[in-house]
Chain A
């Protein structure tokens, strides 16, 4: 018994290392590939001599390194947040995008641009964060009114309703203000491009706090998965566990959305991939999600840079097109509501 458990732990740890190596490879790819391809040798040169001033080195340090870091951090945050949301709600279709969080962040970003004249991504971050936080609490509260708590269909619908209402307000602002619309339409699709390193730096504390809370609630999520009654009988304080996980979700989703814009489906897909590898233990699912999500996000971003040269397809579009089929497959599964 202990023997098999040990072996399982070894296998899963090895898996994590393999994914981490793949992630490093994806990060290198993200540094090298783009409108202007840069050979790996030059990438290494730029990493070693960040101040050389050569053109390729500048592209790497000014544009591709921040971009790659945004992808790594936002991806990890979306992955963790998705696993947490699905664990807390016991709902396999829960996802920040489906739950209307993006619409909330969107409305606040529009307000930031239009009312307060904010023009930089660094400035958007706080507004996007506040919008995402408020909306996620709102949608979850509405979705859990009445019988049966937060079931998949109720949450999806509460998300759709809140999205519709917030989108109407957003549109009302955008229609009156072409300049705001011009900025907003690029934020709205979800992209890693043109984020400065200051965005990375100022998001870091929030992401770290969110990740710590996420890992702290792994055990509690395992208990919650058995149902509130069983969890309570195991001595788990259900309400506190939900609150901690909820705070982590708000921190992670809010920060990631404000960094990269609304990126749908990634927080939805990754937990399922992780669960397929690790089984339902959140102590393994969380680290796997945290590495798999940025892997997918970076690869999607690189793909988006390659398919439409010399322009690029924003990463949010690529993940939506990959993600929709996964969502459909999940929706077809019979035992949907019984995670």
Chain B
């Protein structure tokens, strides 16, 4: 018994240590995003500007209109994608079941593109529409794959099918718009954190304030749910209620993040497995996955905007290029251990 207890203590202290390190890294990247650019702002000036103290000319404008929104939406959307992906993956017991693979993100995308290009809306109303799109898509996919329970692979395949159809609807809307508007929509479709306004960021922030604690609390039942429905019931976890609430949380997070920053490829998909690897021990790691997500978006955006020559690329291009080899690697290793289906 004492061995078990000691192992648990060791594991949870490692989880805490990983969280701390990740949090530090996220804050460092956040600060770097604020300070680095064509117009360098020294770290003391960054802090002074954030605190509202007097700063050299131009600093306040660049900070509050350009860099702070950018850094905030990167961190928040990354956090939401990471959390959402980890919830999906751990709930469905499948590393491939993240919202961007199974069509939920595509639902938000199609809805948002409709709202912007056809409806002519902008700002926080688009967030709401994106969220509704994600919710409806999730419900449809869940219902379509229901057969005395939701099988992991069935859900993934149904999701890929639904996602493909939604993607072609999005392409259709693009052909129906003025090319300038469509080109702007393309940037958003790729996932971009450039030029966001507070009207887009605040809804995401509010959602995270409410849903992050909720997800972490519900997440405690995850290790029960991961055992499978029967065992979880035997341990007294109210399976369906917990599962529905968690899924709902994950869908809302994915929808809000997509609405704010576009469907940034692969962040939801990569964060969970990376966090599991960092923490070890095979336990649910929601908070760490969220932090990994935030770090990924911040780093990818930094690469896309500063390290690739004169041209700036939206963050989604970078994460797509990083993520695809990762998916292939996962496929190969899953095959080796016999979990490849």
Measured CB to CB, the residues of A under 8 A from B are: 93, 97-98, 142, 145-148, 151-154, 156-158, 160-162, 164-165, 167-169, 171-172, 174-176, 178, 181-182, 185-186, 188-190, 264-265, 313-314, 316-317, 320-321, 323-324, 327-328, 331-332, 336-337
Contact = CB atoms under 8 A, between A and B. Distances in A.
Interface in B141-183: 144-145, 147, 153-154, 156-158, 160-162, 164-165, 168-169, 171-172, 174-175, 179-180, 182-183
Contact of B162 (A147, A148, A189, A328): A328
B49 to A, nearest CB: 31
B320 A147 contact: no
A80 B182 CA distance: 35
Given A161-B331, A165-B320, A332-B158, A146 B164 contact: no
B328 A147 contact: no
Interface in B321-341: 321, 323-325, 327-328, 331-332, 334-336, 338, 340-341
A181 B338 CA distance: 42
Contacts of B154: 331-332
Interface of B: 96, 101, 144-145, 147, 153-154, 156-158, 160-162, 164-165, 168-169, 171-172, 174-175, 179-180, 182-183, 186-187, 189-190, 265-266, 311, 313-314, 316-317, 320-321, 323-325, 327-328, 331-332, 334-336, 338, 340-341
A183 B310 CA distance: 25
Contacts of B340: 146-148, 151, 153-154
B341 A151 contact: yes
A160 B168 contact: no
Nearest to A95: B164
A168 B157 contact: no
Contact of B168 (A172, A175, A320, A328): A320
B313 A324 contact: no
A332 B338 CA distance: 23
Nearest to A157: B331
A189 B168 contact: yes
A164 B327 contact: yes
A259 B101 CA distance: 29
Nearest to B141: A328
B179 A182 contact: yes
Given A97-B164, A171-B190, A264-B168, 4 more contacts: A147-B335, A154-B335, A165-B323, A314-B172
B324 A168 contact: yes
A314 B175 contact: yes
A124 B36 CA distance: 42
Contacts of B331: 142, 145-146, 154, 157-158, 161
B156 A146 contact: no
Nearest to B339: A147
11 contacts: A152-B157, A154-B331, A154-B340, A161-B328, A165-B323, A171-B189, A171-B317, A189-B168, A324-B162, A324-B165, A332-B145
B157 A153 contact: yes
Contacts of A162: 324, 328
A192 to B, nearest CB: 14
A178 to B, nearest CB: 5
A190 to B, nearest CB: 8
A79 B340 CA distance: 29
A180 B165 CA distance: 24
A172 B313 contact: yes
A328 B321 contact: no
B169 A320 contact: yes
Contacts of A316: 168, 171
A161 to B, nearest CB: 4
- Identify which of B168, B171, B331, B341 gathers the most chain A CB atoms within 10 Å of its CB: B168
Given A98-B164, A181-B179, A161 B311 contact: no
Contacts of A146: 331-332, 334-336, 340
A160 B327 CA distance: 9
A189 to B, nearest CB: 5
A156 B172 CA distance: 23
